[in-house]
Chains A and B, each alone.
Chain A
Amino acid sequence: MDLRYTDAEQAFRHELRSWLEATLPNLPPKPSPDDWPGRRAYDTYWQRLLFDAGYAGVDWPVEGGGRGSSPVEELVFKKELERAHAPYVGVNFVGLLHAGPTVIAEGTAEQRRRYLPPILRGDEVWCQGFSEPDAGSDLASMRTRAVRDGDDYVVTGSKIWTSHAEVADYCELLVRTGGDDSRHRGISWLILPMDTPGVEIRPLTTIAGSTEFAELFLDEVRVPVSNRVGDENDGWRVTMVTLNFERGTAFVGDLLEAIELLVSTVALAQRTGAWSDPGVRRQAGHLRAELDALWALTKRNVSQAARTGVPGVGGTFFKLAYSETRHKLGEFSLALLGRAGLAADDVEGLDGNGPLPAETMVEDWLRGISLTIAAGTSQIQRNIVGERILGLPKEPAVAAPAAAGAAAPAATPS
């Protein structure tokens, strides 16, 4: 066990840090959170800067046009970006973290040539059409139907939790090509151009008031058969293969942000005098221990991915523990805001020492609530730990036929 970075890893860090220092001051101002065209322009501009500097697809294999860095370099990359408060991956999320890696692993040469470079350059934006209103945790029960008609599939159904749908060019779409009861054996993975006739987008507003989600309605949408990635009815496996691209670094930025939030929450407690309460200090101490341990778990997962090439089971442990810790942190900071937390506005404190950080803390508390739900609820994650890791018997099947891997894949927040 060695926690020191090698000379090569240090050199990578220094080079990246210099580039960030030179680049970040010249970024345009951030668009407002609900200005989706503005956000697309901002996020894709940032992606283009990364591309021109050779940092696009740090974790993508070289064959896919990426940098082919080790998982440890990827960790360093994400840590440095968070440290410098660089822009987030934003609307490029699905393309860079899910659709792109799927095309690399399972696409034809033609599909790779067509779709990968525009993702890396920030020219094209993707969204994800996996979950359905009636197929959430039980993703394999999805019903969006694709029927062959000549060289096309004709797709009818609906999808939900489709982030960035309004500004996306393509959707990675899971459709039912097998029989009604074929479950995970009858699913195909399609590339859907979002400007195809019959695609309707209805935005969903989250409890945080944000609008990144949408519902997608598909009415006899024609998708060329040549847009299928992988074999017909093999889409479940295609989706699972992509999960192996996750190398334990998915939450690096988030985790470092949580540590910053804890520090600013402690500063708030000191300012209000709540810090003299041993109960408050005790909560802060526990949160520090948990966040440090999660950082260590991240390093363990990354090290495992570096050795074996696959992320292992640590990601599930991480998600379960992190989402609970994040809830606690959210509740902790909200309690310390007191009645200043009744609005997500930074209101001037009566002590004359400037505004209280209600905007960050209230928003963070609300967004944190999604963590035990998105990308596989904590209940599904506990089933995965219980069944796949501890070897406990599966839940008895109720209506649907018993299926191997019956739990939903830990799909990325789409």
Chain B
Amino acid sequence: MDFELTELQVDLAQGVRRLCEGRFPLEQVRLVESADRVVDRAGWRQLGEAGVFNLCLAEAAGGVGLGLADAALVFEELGRALVPGPLVASHLAAGLIDGADDGSVVVGLVERPDPAVPASGVHPVVIEHLGDLDVLLVLSATGISSVDPELLGATRLNRPMDPLTPVWTVPALPEGTPVAGPEIAAWWRRDGAVLTAALQLGSAAWTTELAVGYAKQRRQFGRPIGGFQAIKHLCADMAVRTEVARCAVHAAAVTVDQPDVGDPLVAAAGAKLLADEAAVTNGRSCIQVHGGMGFTWEVPAHLAYKRARVLATQFGTETELAESLAESLTGS
């Protein structure tokens, strides 16, 4: 048992971090704020070349043949850089949708509302990134189908909560063309939860650094505010939350790769729950540490906070995840 990263895994994560710093610096990412389209096609293909989408695809199918644990490290870096676009959907679609694997085709995903959930009769259907999509997949318990984004009659919403996640609403989701059955849909849900959790983890780590950096530099009462316990302890709690979530995310990814060490579904639900909470709470704390500046559009803390809120609605909400974890504690 050795739960530390291997040298290759450290190199992989560092490589993606360098790619993000070079290709997706925040000041550049922010140029497309509030635009219809936020995916930089050339950048997306570069992510494809770096293996972001085909990492877990078997070598025989033209992929890299690595495990979900490796992918989680990659997605942690993408989450940290707030790279916009349907990253998880395009990764999952590699091997199923031509061109997803190399980043030449951008694939989005929306979950078909479950009629058993009462709110599904009230909540509108909201789709992220529709303007950027070549293919939209619809995920449900019975399988995955493909619908043509052009034929949806979608309306773009004017004021998306996350300026880097444009959203559309549609009157109804058509049946579409089936592309995969219930087994693949189930593992997409599980792996999608783990990779989305990894994005959230990256965000939680980044907002911690942003807050700590500001707390060291901002002076009030004649000294850096980070010297005051009220601020210091807020930052310490952010760091603890991040580390606990990191272990949960890494363990879930490893458990998917090595199912004999635990229950992958339980591990994935726990990881998503804690990573969502870490990203949302740290985003909020990061704004608080920045004080009044944290409430400005200029300081990027709100971008992480808003993205965290978007991702928390995907691949399992807090209620759904907590319910499934509760279920795992019964009848054993």
Q: What total of chain B residues lie within 8 Å of the partner, measured CB to CB?
A: 59
Given A5-B1, A297-B244, A385-B240, A393-B224 contact (CB < 8 Å): yes
Per-position binary interface string of chain B over residues 266-296, scored 1 when its CB falls under 8 Å from any chain A CB and 0 otherwise = 1101110110000000000000000000000
Q: Does the CB pair A320–B240 fall under 8 Å?
A: yes
Residues of A within 8 A of B270 (CB): 288-289, 292-293
Per-position binary interface string of chain A over residues 68-88, scored 1 when its CB falls under 8 Å from any chain B CB and 0 otherwise = 000010010000000000000
Q: Does the CB pair A2–B212 fall under 8 Å?
A: no
Partner of A289, one of B6, B237, B258, B325: B325
Q: Does A303 have its Cβ within 8 Å of any Cβ on chain B?
A: yes
Stretch of B51-59, B142-150, B225-233 lying at the A interface: B225-233
Given A382-B232, A392-B216, A395-B227, A9-B1 contact (CB < 8 Å): yes
Q: Does A331 have its Cβ within 8 Å of any Cβ on chain B?
A: no
State A9–B1 Cα separation when bound (angstroms).
8
In A258-300, which residues have CB < 8 Å from any B CB? 262-263, 266, 270, 275, 278, 281-282, 284-286, 288-290, 292-297, 299-300
In the complex formed, the residue of A with least CB distance to B324 is A285
Given A294-B244, A392-B226, A288-B1 contact (CB < 8 Å): no
Per-position binary interface string of chain B over residues 1-38, scored 1 when its CB falls under 8 Å from any chain A CB and 0 otherwise = 11111100100000000000000000000000000000
Q: Does B127 have its Cβ within 8 Å of any Cβ on chain A?
A: no
State A317–B226 Cα separation when bound (angstroms).
19
Q: What total of chain A residues lie within 8 Å of the partner, measured CB to CB?
A: 55
CB B239 to nearest CB in A, in angstroms, measures: 6
Q: Does A314 have its Cβ within 8 Å of any Cβ on chain B?
A: yes
Residues of B within 8 A of A290 (CB): 244, 274
State A379–B235 Cα separation when bound (angstroms).
12
Q: Does the CB pair B251–A303 fall under 8 Å?
A: no
Given A2-B258, A285-B325, A293-B270, A395-B244 contact (CB < 8 Å): no
Q: Does A306 have its Cβ within 8 Å of any Cβ on chain B?
A: yes
Q: Does A386 have its Cβ within 8 Å of any Cβ on chain B?
A: yes
Residues of B within 8 A of A9 (CB): 1
Q: Does the CB pair B330–A270 fall under 8 Å?
A: yes
In the complex formed, the residue of A with least CB distance to B238 is A390
Q: Does A304 have its Cβ within 8 Å of any Cβ on chain B?
A: yes
Of listed A303, A304, A393, residue having the most chain B CB within 10 A: A393
Stretch of B83-91, B118-126, B154-162, B315-323 lying at the A interface: B315-323
In the complex formed, the residue of B with least CB distance to A387 is B232
State A304–B1 Cα separation when bound (angstroms).
11
Partner of A300, one of B227, B239, B247: B247
State A306–B1 Cα separation when bound (angstroms).
10
In the complex formed, the residue of B with least CB distance to A275 is B330
Residues of B within 8 A of A387 (CB): 232
Residues of B within 8 A of A303 (CB): 1-4
Residues of B within 8 A of A275 (CB): 330
State A299–B254 Cα separation when bound (angstroms).
12
In the complex formed, the residue of A with least CB distance to B228 is A395
Of listed B69, B233, B260, B262, residue having the most chain A CB within 10 A: B233
CB B204 to nearest CB in A, in angstroms, measures: 13
Q: Does the CB pair A392–B215 fall under 8 Å?
A: yes
Q: Does the CB pair B273–A386 fall under 8 Å?
A: no
State A286–B328 Cα separation when bound (angstroms).
12
Of listed A275, A303, A391, A392, residue having the most chain B CB within 10 A: A392
Could you list 23 A-B pairs, sorted by A, with CB under 8 Å?
A1-B2, A3-B261, A266-B329, A270-B330, A275-B330, A282-B322, A285-B325, A285-B326, A285-B329, A286-B322, A288-B328, A288-B329, A289-B322, A292-B270, A293-B244, A293-B247, A293-B251, A296-B3, A299-B1, A382-B232, A386-B229, A390-B232, A390-B236
Given A299-B247, A385-B236; 16 other pairs, CB 8 A cutoff: A3-B262, A6-B1, A286-B322, A288-B329, A289-B321, A293-B251, A294-B244, A296-B247, A296-B250, A303-B3, A381-B236, A383-B232, A386-B236, A390-B239, A395-B227, A395-B229
